[in-house]
Structure 1
């Protein structure tokens, strides 16, 4: 590996973080805009879930080819190419007049921003030492929390003044600026040699890995579900279940995201120390993730009494599963890092799409079956809780005698 000097590493991190800030903002913005979009386009819950999930559908669809392209062409070339698509998608979203056009632009936005985390993580796998990789991953996610914070109260304040359509034109210009920063700061890529016997672009070694398969259900339901709640369903819950007015709901989403920011900041500070003490990712997930299940069960029981702080507690307790992402990257050789990370990202964001749309379908379905709005939301969240508990059970049972300290391949 060719490690970067500290000053260069900081510049590279900040360049990637600048782009990831806008990716996270766009990922979460539908939660804040849901009342406006619902009114303007006459959306049902299933439509809102599909629209928010459309981002993750596009995001997930590009992950497998992206992984192979990252290993071959490197982070710099790939993120610049994809961010160009994101600029076009934001412009298309601002001009949309029908739900189908809005959805198509949202899916294209997911495609264009699909490299904003995988590109830096692939680069960090070669450019940083293992402890620094864990810290950089957590602090990239912290940057994402800044973006999600910006999608709440700031957006809620700006939309009545400027409208949501001009806002997306401003975001297109900001993403174009981030492309310039990356072009100037990020080094070129020298393709690492592939492992012996591995076909170029093949995912076979990734899919066969028992550790990857053990983490996949957690990535789908627990990690994907956390993002689905944070980026969409916490907002409608606060408005339709807790009966908060839109501005108060936006403030609640701001609270959730600032708590997430603090959580990822803490993980970035603690991860290198935990790694040096031999505390494995598996042990941390096994001990910490049940807290999120307990909080979610309490939310289902509390119903309207569960507000922003309850959802903040759920999301923060779910951050234990975020530790799996860098662990997956370090479990494979550098030549496979892009594919391993993108494959796991595919699992996560497929889960986001399924959970976001699935909760919308369940809310409408339970409503059609005769439940009121509050009980329909509670029942939908209970189904999500059951799926998350099942994924945790599989994690604990699969290879339970192989609690593995990740083997970092040179």
Structure 2
């Protein structure tokens, strides 16, 4: 295995990594993202035992699950600047240290407030696990490889979510949920060691003109202007991008909502609406995440060929979102007949939204990639937090109005569907692509 000194030299000399080094670096970052995704989704599996131990309502469960995403979102703006300035290796190691502390704090929690605070700290700690490698890939890999690496990182995330279902359910009688978080802390430490050894060091783009920089578009736009700015340029160019604004509502409601279903509400739906046992619900979550793993692996295989044939991310999203809306509407209408298969189809049909992250990153020069990706991630995870907590609040509100649990879940999901439809309408109305800022 190449040592970090050799890798750093390779990165500094050309900006691009050779194939073997690229695979090793990818695997190191993927290990951290695997654990990040496992902790993201673990609330769905642990929700029954946490509800029992801490007497949680639906709104509490939604807030607890969303606390991860609140912590995640809170770090995204400074994270983007730090990634551009200091590079993925340094930043992710600092952040993962917080995740270790968060896991240990969660395992010792004696109240809901303590649980929530620890969950927020975990979210902050793993908030660089996707943005750090994507920022590096923008410079280390060719454009077609970036798309494939992004999809396979998401596939790794699905593998982590897969591990949060039946494997966690099987471990619970042996370890309990408290010891489980000590095991997770140890896994994070191992991932940190791997990244520290193999990840390339960072060389500031401003001091290496042209390294990793895309060709300029014909018209002068924000991306082109940003290429001439110093490394410390603000987020203003990101927020002003028409393409960024076009994608933001979909990121907030549609993609954020899909993650909210996958990481929390699919589980309670299967228990309270479909009537599954806890083991059946955990099995259903396993199948959902297995379907997502296969989906993101497939996107990674076909993306380069699709891009060459003109099927870029924006076009794929434009075709994919209506399908996901139709599946969501059908699931709501079917009510208690909707089991894991219905939610698996919804998540799979929403997966095209995952293509937006590299597309947004490639709309900007390498010197702004970290900020662009982190700003977009902020929108996604703010959407996950709002959706997870909001659905819980809506369920409790509809139950207080006298609706049955099935009708309460259906009504809350109906509000979510209306938000998704509105965001897609905005997407269609905004004329911009990722070369026109």
The TM tier, using the shorter chain, reads over 0.9
Number of aligned residue pairs: 405
Q: Does 1:176 align with 2:208?
A: no
Assess if the C-alpha contact under 8 Å between 1:130 and 1:408 holds in 2.
Answer: no
What pairs with 1:84-233 in structure 2 (closer than 5 Å)? 84-193=97-206, 195-197=227-229, 200-233=232-265
Work out whether 1:72 is the aligned partner of 2:104.
Answer: no
- 2:86 aligned with 1:54, yes or no? no
Q: Check the 8 A contact 1:86/1:113 in 2, yes or no.
A: yes
Of 46, 62, 75, the residue aligned with 1:33 is: 46
Deviations 1:332-364 (A, max 9, x none): 000000000000000000000000000000000
Counterpart among 340, 347, 353 of residue 385 in structure 2: 353
Shift of 1:31: 0.2
* Structure-1 separation of matches of 2:139 and 2:338: 44
1:191–1:25 Cα change, 3 Å? same
What are the residue-to-residue correspondences of 1:266-281 with 2, within 5 Å? 266-281=298-313
**2:85 and 2:231 in contact (8 A); partners too:** no
* Aligned-partner Cα distance in 2 for 1:331–1:382: 34
- Distance in 2, matches of 1:65 and 1:197, equals 18
Shift of 1:278: 1.9
1:195 CA drift (Å): 2.9
1:247 counterpart = 2:260: no
CA contact (8 A) 1:332 1:408 kept: no
Q: Deviations over 1:163-218 (max 9, x none)?
A: 00000000000000100000011010001117324571510000000000000000
The alignment's TM-score, normalised by the length of structure 1, stands at: 0.97
Q: How far apart are residue 276 of structure 1 and its match?
A: 1.2
Q: 2:34 — aligned with what? A: 21
Unaligned runs of 5+ in 1: none
Equivalent pair of 2:231/2:367 in contact (CA under 8 Å)? no
1:307 matched to 2:339? The reply is yes
Contact 1:79 1:119 in 2 (8 A): yes
- Whether 1:5 aligns to 2:39 is no
Structure 2 equivalent of residue 378 of structure 1: 410
Structure 2 stretches of 5 or more lacking a match? Answer: 1-13, 207-225
* Residue 321 of structure 1: aligned partner: 353
Give TM-score scaled by structure 2 length. Answer: 0.91
Contact 2:275 2:336 in 1 (8 A): yes
1:387 match: 419
Q: Is the CA contact 2:84–2:231 (under 8 Å) kept in the aligned structure 1?
A: no
Greater than 3 Å deviation, 4+ residue runs: 406-409
**What's the C-alpha RMSD, in Å, of the aligned pairs?**
1.2
Q: Does 1:265 align with 2:297?
A: yes
Equivalent residue, structure 1, for 2:212:
none
Deviation digits for residues 265-305 of structure 1 (CA, Å, limit 9, x no counterpart): 00000100011112221111111111110000001100000
- Distance, in Å, in 2 between the alignment partners of 1:150 and 1:281 is 29
